[in-house]
Structure 1
Amino acid sequence: MAEPKLRILQVMRAPVGGLFRHVADLTRALSEMGHEVGLVVDSLANDAQTESKLAALLPHASLGIHRFAMPRVLGHGDLTTPFAVRKLARTLKIDVLHGHGAKGGFYARLANFGGKAATLYTPHGGVLHFSRSSTSGRVFHALERALLSRTSAIIFESAYAQATYSSLIAKPTCPTHIIHNGLAPAEFEPVPPNAGAANFVFVGELRDLKGIHVLIDALAGVQRPDGSPATLVMAGDGPARQELESQITNLGLTARVKLLGAQPARPTFARGHIAVVPSLAESLPYVVLEAAAARLPVIATRVGGIPEIFGTTAASLVPASDSNALRTAMQAALDDPETADNQMKLRLAHIEEHFSLARMSGDIETLYHQAIAPA
């Protein structure tokens, strides 16, 4: 007998970054499967880009997109929004509440007190980034422990996230599942480099945590096989842009580094031959998946769930915050393109098997049905 179609409410704070990418992909996939999906998002941090992203998702959200106050850390909305979400869930007769990120998980599980919906939670790194020593960290970690009894299941996007949650917060008392993020079939189409493409390409937010300063330090000593200086394009924006520009100028790299501003990833991959992801910390970054699926060799750091993406090529990962190691890896990729290409092909096969959108959405759908099944 066919499984029943579900009424699902996805709860997240802000439609930005990898978290929103995951929720958007999942919403579209669930809608295509015949389920009815609604979204709950923050009303405090809207801008033109946010509204554009949500408008594009609206045709797949048959239960609507609903906005409530969701302060980034702690605020008045934390006292009122769970009640508003609970009322909405009951009005819409929701079968599954799925919270994403620290705040989304907080609201979804509090909203279901006294309710009958299954409540699932995907941290997406969020609460895992709070330090035990900070006030916010202590508060959110205590809330996590208190809400475990209200959680039908936790979905971790990587084994790294699962292990970090257990060591940092508590060993979950509810079922847990590792379901990797996935890419759509079109994202596995090759992206060949443009004429005049730089040697290296970076796509990400311009902030310290992304390792951008380590990357610039590393680039300074990298040369092409003909002895000319290696070049880099960087797509992204963020709070560290001004500091980054000063670093580039001080190192005399203005002719070698081009800052493109915020740009979509796939078209940007054509601006470089080799992708570099020098992050100091990550969960399971989409940009690594996207670059590898686009057929680019990828140089990345051994942080978060990146080794899970690299599979049998994980030995090529470099330590975070180590400009010398990163420089050596970048130079090796230029000096021995055949090895870099062979590793790319192995990585691609691994990602095609384990990181597809069909696999991700299908596994989550199965988990939803398991969560609402009678005990």
Structure 2
Amino acid sequence: MPETEPLRIIHCFRSPVGGIFRHVRDLAEQHSNAGHKVGIVCDSTTGGDHEDRLFDQIRPYLSLGLTRIPIRRSVGSGDARALWRSYKEIKSLQPDVLHGHGAKGGALARIIGSVLRVKKYRVARVYSPHGGSLHYDQASLAGRAIFSMERLLEQLTDAIVFVCDFERRTYETKVGVPRCSARMIYNGISDADIGAIPTRSDGVHFLYVGMLRDLKGPDVFIDAFARTERLVKHPLSALVVGDGPDRDKYDAMMMQRGLGRRIGLLPAMPVQDAFSMSNIVVVPSRAESMPYIVLEALGAAKSVIATRVGGIPEMLGADSEALVNPDDPDDLARVMAKAVTTPGWHDSTMPSMADFKARFSASVMADGILALYRERLTAIRSA
């Protein structure tokens, strides 16, 4: 197909929070600026004021509109209604590309795209897992059912986009080598998010920013902070920024350990504001795919200490001294102590900004995905 032909692109996903929402916002802005028509279909029951503000920011890039309907996380009777309402809306927009993100969004996009194909619409059906269902245990009943469904849906898929090599390898292990076209294209952040953010004069030694739930490891961070103080033999300071279901538990944990005055707890805020509070960002997750918080922190020229999970080693380097074992507060404290006591630790450990931009910019990501859209559409139209 002609390289200059503008495309009509619809992104389908369930929850407008977290990394998937960030990924779609970046793609929408990049592709809209390149002259393409973009729209979003997602859940109407999740998200709050913060997400509403984010939607307001990207509305100028959504020439095909924003459609929000109830889409439940679990499989249920409401799925049929969501599917029908999504189908009617998407059909009226006559998309060239349906890109589903996450398990629910991927199922909606591929099923609707396949129905449109039966009706002679030449639409490309693209799927990005974004971790999600791939975190399930292969040995569990739920995991076996989900991976079987993933395999079945490949028959309705023109291409799968993996956001990191870890995600690709996990998919191949748990689901199988894709029987459709597949591509690994790293997540990226925009040029506006790449640039050093100075730390305030009243900044703290360490910062955790993210969802307050055990999967993300705030409890490991709190435990490691106390151990770091014992290693360096003097008091330190830290800040936990975020919201989530386990917030009260972590607050109580800090109080019980006498850390209430040295670890602050603040609600979610724009990540740039959070980054101004520390030079060192700690990401103690027990499981991840390709977390944006690491990309954003590196883009802001912060030192990052993170667990060796998911695609994080692909960002920091497989042999980076900044990587620690998951769920291991002793190992995390060891590196935290080294980061605050070793002169030049940042420069000797963090990737160079030039290398970072070459691999993890939003423009590189958007160009790669757009090339895949055109490749698949060319194949469909010539079949």
Report if the CA contact (8 A) 1:313-1:343 is conserved: no
Summarize deviations over 1:95-128 as a string: whole Å, max 9, x none: 1000011100010001122323100000111111
| Greater shift in the superposed pair: 285-294 or 85-94 | 85-94
Structure 2 distance, partners of 1:349, 1:312, is: 18
Instruction: Give yes or no for contact 2:197–2:275 (8 Å, CA) kept in 1.
Output: yes
Q: Which residue of 2 aligns with 1:181?
A: 187
Contact map agreement 2:227 2:330 (CA 8 A) in 1: no
* 1:317 alignment partner, one of 312, 323, 326: 323
Is the contact made by 2:321 and 2:349 (CA closer than 8 Å) also made in structure 1?
no
Question: Partner of 1:110 in structure 2?
Answer: 111
Q: CA deviation at 1:273?
A: 2.0
Aligned to 1:32: 33
| 2:261 is aligned with 1:255 | yes
Q: Which residue in 2 is equivalent to 1:66?
A: 67
**2:366 aligned partner:** 361
Deviations 1:252-284 (A, max 9, x none): 111210011111211111111211111110000
1:128 matched to which residue of 2?
134
- Corresponding residue for residue 213 of structure 2: 207
Distance 1:372 1:226, change over 3 A: closer
> Does the Cα contact within 8 Å between 1:204 and 1:236 map onto a contact in 2?
yes
| SS across alignment from 2:134 | helix
Q: Which string of whole-angstrom CA distances, capped at 9 and with x for unpartnered residues, describes residues 150-173 of structure 1?
A: 111000001000111111122210
**Partner residue, 2:295:** 289
Amino acid at match of 2:60: P
The answer to whether the 8 A contact 1:187-1:290 is kept is yes
Q: Compared with structure 1, are the counterparts of its residues 253 and 136 closer, same or farther at alpha carbon in structure 2 (3 Å cutoff)?
A: same
Post-superposition shift, 1:299? 0.6
Deviation at 1:225, TM superposition (A): 9.8
More displaced 10-residue stretch of structure 1: 85-94 or 143-152:
85-94
Aligned residue pair count: 374
Instruction: Give the distance between the partners of 1:323 and 1:337, measured in 2 at CA.
Output: 23
Amino acid at match of 1:254: G
Q: Give me the whole-angstrom Cα distance separating, in 1, the residues matched to 2:373 and 2:287.
A: 30
**Mapped pair 1:343 → 2:349:** yes
Q: Residue 227 of structure 2 aligns to a residue in which SS?
A: coil
CA shift for structure 1 position 133: 4.8
The range that moved more, 69-78 or 232-241, is 69-78
Residue 240 (1) aligns with residue 246 (2): yes
Whole-Å Cα distance in 2 between the matches of residues 46 and 185 of structure 1? 26
Moved more, 230-239 or 54-63: 54-63
Q: What is the letter of the counterpart of residue 18 of structure 1?
A: G
Superposed displacement of residue 58, structure 1: 1.6
Name 2:160's counterpart in structure 1: 154
TM-score (norm 1): 0.95
Please tell me the root mean square deviation across aligned C-alpha atoms, in Å.
1.8
Residues 310-360 of structure 1: CA deviation (Å, up to 9, x unaligned) = 12653431100011000100001111031233222x353432220001100
Query: For structure 2, which runs of at least 5 residues remain unmatched after alignment?
Result: none
Deviates more, 1:259-268 or 1:41-50: 41-50
Local SS of the residue matching 1:215: helix
Q: Secondary structure at the match of 1:205?
A: coil
* Aligned equivalents of 2:174, 2:318: Cα separation in 1: 28
**Partner residue in 1 for 2:357:** 352
Distance 1:46 1:249 in 2: 29
Kept in 1: contact 2:17–2:47 (CA 8 A): no
Name the counterpart of 1:217.
223
Q: TM-score, normalised by structure 2?
A: 0.93
| Equivalent residue number for residue 305 of structure 1 | 311
